[in-house]
Amino acid sequence: MGVVEDLRPIFSPKSIAVIGASRSPMKIGYEILQNILVQGYTGKVIPINPETPTIMGLKTQPSVLAVKEDLDLAIIAVPAEFVPKVMSECARKKVKGVIVISSGFAETGERGKQLEEEILQIARRGGIRLIGPNTLGYKDPIDSLDAAFVFGMPRPGEIALISQSGALCIGMIYYANGEHIGLSRVISVGNKADIDDADLIDYLSADPATKVIAMYIEGIKDGRKFLDAARRCHKPIVAIKAGRTPAGSAAASTHTGSLSGSDAVYDSAFKQVHIQRAYDVIELFDYARALAYQPCAPGNRVGIISNGGGAGIMIADWCESIGLKVPNLTKKTVDGLRPHLPSITSPRNPLDVTGDARFHRYHATGSIVLSDPNIDALIMTCVHAGIARPKEYVGAVIKLVEEKKNLKKPIVACWVGGPEIDEVVQELRVKNIPVYSSAMRAAKAVKCLYDEGGRQDMVAGKKHKEPA
């Protein structure tokens, strides 16, 4: 069986047993059962608990062996020392997949490593695929299945998130919700005893709901398997690889039992297979949103429009310092821009449309610059100066993005100001238009879209356009 068929019972189960489903609202086994029910899971759910006949109105069973129906998935939330016993019962019951929520395995030292190896062997002998141990579970906002503890679902969308840290995973969901970034599947992988990043890349590569794969990684055990999966994957991958320094690496080994490895090796391996590397959560989602919702840049030449000269200069600096170019505009573009600009402004790149720019000036200049054959991508910027009209700027960006789809050149938005303009640009986020609160973030997002062009050319066997 291929990985997609192997993992389907885990991610699209027809029946789920929650082993360690608890009567106590303070316990993780209670929360998992509650989350499954709250999201309205339509398959069969069976709480397993030998101490009580019912939980949340559902009849319990003392063990999976007492369950009559076939079981696709068992979620295990009993203390680590009992996991081998319940896993053996799952194997006898021929459960297809398990998620081991319990911690107390490789992340705790030698004894834990042995326990992890023991449950892995039980899974292998029983033909069971295993997520974890030491995982939060997964949350699937597309199919409304919350197979995790911690309350709350992501906004549905097209970015899949794989995280080796459970707590960070929840933080990232809340961050994405606040940014109006939708997620397709969120999977906490924990110690990755069996199912690892490579398996999930293969699985998500075939997932019609997912456009981009975003990852938080502490360590990868089988580098070749990972690189082969990344190379096969026909969707963009963005990844944070944490544990880059001796201090970070030591913390990762006690967190998920990971060996962080040489950062330089990860860096060059990621480059080989065109994984875009991010260094924090904000950057991860900056790239993921741009990749999911804008075309890749056909070249590295950027047009910059702003209503404040300083912002334009900073963006130009950032672009040029990361391998993008801010080229001269053609004569036709310069002539076309002149009638739309105040006489004090000279049409050039970066273009200062001045502080009194309104909808029409943003829209007309954006449209002309984007059509210039010297330009591969556009950064539209609004500084919230006294006479600025952020609402009109937002309207112009939305219209440009809608009108200029056929040009296949990315447009990203950038702003400088306080909470008032942040509120106004929310409309761009709602429409999935990449919008950034700094010159650096906007320039890096465009670089990411240029590099994505390189990945797509590699996949298509084409030569990537040389940087200007």
Which residue number is nearest to ligand COA in terms of Cβ?
A: 166
> 148 or 445, CB closer to ligand COA?
148
Query: Closest approach of Cβ 218 to ligand COA, in Å?
Result: 12
- Distance of alpha carbon 160 from alpha carbon 187, whole angstroms: 8
Q: Is 323 left (phi over 0), alpha (psi -120 to 50) or beta?
A: left
Residue 52 or 262 with smaller CB distance to ligand COA: 52
8 A C-beta contact, residue 77 and residue 104? no
Q: Which residues contact 446 (CB under 8 A, 6 or more apart)?
A: 290, 297, 302, 319, 324, 377, 379, 410, 412
Q: Pairing mode, if any, of strands 129-131 and 137-140?
A: unpaired
Closer of 126 and 434 to ligand COA (Cβ)? 126
Least gap, CB of 188 to ligand COA (angstroms): 6
Question: Judging by DSSP bridges, how do beta strands 97-100 and 302-306 pair with one another?
Answer: unpaired
For the bound state, the minimum distance from the C-beta of residue 64 to ligand COA, rounded and expressed in Å, comes to: 9
**247 Cβ partners below 8 Å, 6+ apart?**
none
Q: How far is the CB of 48 from ligand COA (least distance, A)?
A: 5
Residue 106: CB minimum distance to ligand COA, A? 12
CB of 67 to ligand COA, least distance (A): 12
Q: Give the footprint of ligand COA on this chain (CB under 6 A).
A: 19-20, 22-24, 27-29, 48-52, 77-79, 82, 86, 101-104, 134-136, 166, 188
Q: Whole-number minimum distance, CB 209 to ligand COA, in Å?
A: 24
**446 within 8 A of 410, measured Cβ to Cβ:** yes
Q: Minimal distance in Å, beta carbon 256 to ligand COA?
A: 9
Least Å from the CB of residue 191 to ligand COA: 9
CA distance linking residue 423 with residue 382, whole number of Å: 13
Identify which of residues 20 and 366 has a Cβ nearer to ligand COA in the complex. 20
Smallest distance, ligand COA to C-beta of residue 451, A? 32
Work out how close the CB of 237 gets to ligand COA at its nearest, in angstroms, rounded to a whole number: 22
Q: Which is nearer to ligand COA, 112 or 166 (CB)?
A: 166
Nearer to ligand COA, 135 or 306 (CB): 135
Looking at beta carbons only, is 12 or 24 nearer to ligand COA? 24
- By C-beta, is 188 or 333 nearer to ligand COA? 188
Beta strands 44-48 and 73-76 are: unpaired
CB 162 within 8 A of CB 213: yes
Cβ nearer to ligand COA, comparing 77 with 95: 77
Looking at beta carbons only, is 171 or 373 nearer to ligand COA?
171
Q: Closer to ligand COA at the Cβ: 169 or 341? A: 169
- Integer CA distances (angstroms), 201 to 114, 130, 132, in order: 27, 16, 16
Of residues 24 and 42, the one with the C-beta less far from ligand COA: 24
129 contacts 96 by C-beta, under 8 angstroms = yes
Cα–Cα–Cα angle for 93, 98, 102, rounded to 5 degrees: 120
Q: How far is the CB of 129 from ligand COA (least distance, A)?
A: 19
